[in-house]
Amino acid sequence: MSETIPIKPVGEIVPACVDENGKLSGFVHSIETGAAVDGPGMRFALFVSGCQFRCLYCHNPDTWKLRNGKMMSVDEVMKDIGKYANFLRFAGGLTITGGEPLMQAHFVGEIFYRAKHDLKLHTALDTQGFLAGQLEDAWFDNVDLVLLDIKQMNPEKYERLTGKPLQPTLDFAERMSRMGKKMWIRYVLVPGYTDDFEDVEKLADFIATLKGVERVEVLPFHKMGEHKWEDLGMAYELTDVQPPSPELTERVRNQFRQRGIFTC
């Protein structure tokens, strides 16, 4: 029987919740059992609900509201993961994404604990780190890899793009660096929003100061989630924005490579 990681609920981290059977539970949006783009190898990707950001290019706006997900107990989630554990041990591991996983830190932390200690899986957390200042370092002990989204380096543009301030994310990156945590930095390249040469230069300079960064993933903008905005009755501001050209994408990747950062 595993121990529940104690976390004091503060601010936007939701309090721990239990189901009708008294089991620690949380809200799960969806599960992908063969994810190939959420960390090394083939992953069991657990998408949890709830996000305090409102990114203009978000392709999963249906994950924003916590209760849009299905309530599942940790036991139920672990049973699902366990079906694939033998394969995942050598093929990849578990990635928890969203939404923003740190909104449900009690639930997510217990899943990471049990995946690491009971199932012996490689674990990855996909986050923008905004809420991490409310968690103790020990919470991250069961996270092998952080997939960190840094969406812009210009504070004003960042807030326009996400609805939230930039500094907590930068603080989180530096904290993970001090802790020696392995990181993959994710940067969505959106023409007119995140492609400014000087902004990318500043981001590349910042990342070059961090320890533990194994790669930067430059992710070309796409509109595959636009229909979800329409389905939810929300205006999608980027309808007229086109994906970046191969030339622009390569230029941005080269800006990171010039600082010795592996980029894909």
Domain membership of residue 21 as a residue range: 17-257
The residues pairing with 188 across neighbouring beta strands, listed in sequence order, are 219
**What pLDDT does residue 225 have?**
85
For residue 208, being part of any structural domain is answered with: yes
The predicted pLDDT at position 2 comes to 38
pLDDT (0 to 100) of residue 132: 96
**22 CB neighbour count, 10 Å cutoff:** 8
Assess contact for 200 and 153: CB atoms under 8 A: yes
Any domain includes 2: no
CB atoms within 10 A of CB 258: 12
30 found inside a domain: yes
Do β-strands 24-35 and 42-48 pair in parallel, antiparallel, or remain unpaired?
Answer: antiparallel
53 near 3, Cβ under 8 Å? no
Helices 246-257 & 197-208, crossing angle to 10 degrees? 30
Q: 4 lies in a domain? A: no
The closest alpha carbon to 15, from 144, 84, 105, belongs to: 105
User: At residue 73, what is the residue type?
Assistant: S
What is the C-alpha separation between 40 and 89, in angstroms, rounded?
12
Which pTM does this prediction carry? 0.93
Per-residue pLDDT of the chain (264 residues; tens, 9 = 90+): 334 434 333 347 888 888 888 899 999 999 999 899 899 999 999 999 999 999 999 989 999 999 889 999 999 999 999 999 999 999 999 999 999 999 999 999 999 999 999 999 999 999 999 999 999 999 999 999 999 999 999 999 999 999 999 999 999 999 999 999 999 999 999 999 999 999 999 999 999 999 999 999 999 999 888 989 999 999 999 999 999 999 999 999 999 999 999 999
Q: Report how far residue 193's alpha carbon sits from residue 207's, in angstroms, rounded to the nearest whole number.
A: 19
**Cα–Cα distance for residue pair 78/98, rounded to 1 Å:** 17
N residues, the chain: 264
Number of domains making up the chain:
1
Distance CA 263, CA 186 (A): 10
Q: Is residue 7 part of a domain?
A: no
CATH assignment of the domain containing 116: 3.20.20.70
Longest dimension (CA), the chain: 55
pLDDT number for residue 12: 79
Q: Where are the alpha helices (DSSP H) in 15-73?
A: none
DSSP 102-141: GGGHHHHHHHHHHHHHTS---EEEEE--TTGGGS-GGGGG
**Angle at which helices 74-82 and 105-117 cross, to 10°:** 40
Q: Is residue 184 part of a domain?
A: yes
**Would 5 be classed as within a structural domain?**
no
Q: Are 145 and 124 in contact (CB under 8 A)?
A: yes
The CA radius of gyration of the chain, in Å to the nearest whole number, is: 18
Residues 6 or more apart in contact with residue 1 via CB below 8 angstroms: none
Please give the distance of CA 243 from its chain centroid, rounded to a whole number.
22
Q: Is 3 domain-assigned? A: no
Other Cβ atoms less than 10 A from the Cβ of 162: the count is 22
